Amino acid sequence: NDRLAHGRRLLDEALCLKPKFAEARLYLGFTCQAQNDSEGAAEAYRQVFLRTDRLINRAHAAIQLGMLHDHAAEHAEALRFYRWVVAVGLVARRPEFSFVLHNIVVEHVSMGNLSAAAELLGRIREERPQLWEQSRAWLRAAPELLGCLKADAICRQLLEIDEPAYFVA
């Protein structure tokens, strides 16, 4: 806690000297999150998302804002931020951002839109094998999410192809 507080003071000082320092503002958001200051984190990420001209920094901010909204069960808002990352083309151009597709699946499931979740899971399975492997691991670690998917016939059929172990009694 002392190190986080010290880091936050240094980030605040850096931002006083250079208010448009997007990377420092992103780290301020991470620090706020670690200190359970969701409002401070959201404000830091919002500032980066709205004010920086570097697309990568905006995407990191959008993803973090999406995660904050997901944590607050504001799934439609989270989905908007994740979709923005896809819409600007980062998922297509930068594989390290492809996990956002899985986040979109999670938001669809959380909102009860299982047909959209199934469609996107099918696309991930066919077009992004590495992400599919990771998605399967994330699903194994999320029993509530997996339970929702298993309850839907289309999702169940899709998952049963590669993961019959999900359905063993």
Angle made by CA atoms 37, 42, 5, in degrees to the nearest 5: 35
The predicted-structure confidence for 77-131, as pLDDT tens digits, reads as follows 999 999 999 999 999 999 999 999 999 999 999 999 998 998 999 899 899 999 9
- pLDDT for 167 beyond 70: no
Q: How far apart are CA 42 and CA 33, in angstroms?
A: 9
Q: What is the pLDDT of residue 166?
A: 66
Q: pLDDT at position 156, please?
A: 82
Residue 169 pLDDT level (bands cut at 50, 70, 90): very low
For residue 163, pLDDT over 80 is answered with no
User: Which tens digits make up the pLDDT trace of 21-77?
Assistant: 999 999 999 999 999 999 999 999 999 999 999 999 999 999 999 999 999 999 999
Instruction: Give the Cβ contact number of residue 56 at 10 Å.
Output: 14
Would the pLDDT of 168 be above 60?
no
Instruction: Provide, for the chain, the percentages of residues in helix, strand and coil under a 3-state DSSP scheme, each rounded to the nearest 5.
Output: 85, 0, 15
User: With contact defined as beta carbons under 8 Å apart, do 145 and 111 qualify?
Assistant: no
| Token pair 């973090």: residue | 64
* pLDDT number for residue 151: 87
Question: pTM (2 decimals)?
Answer: 0.89
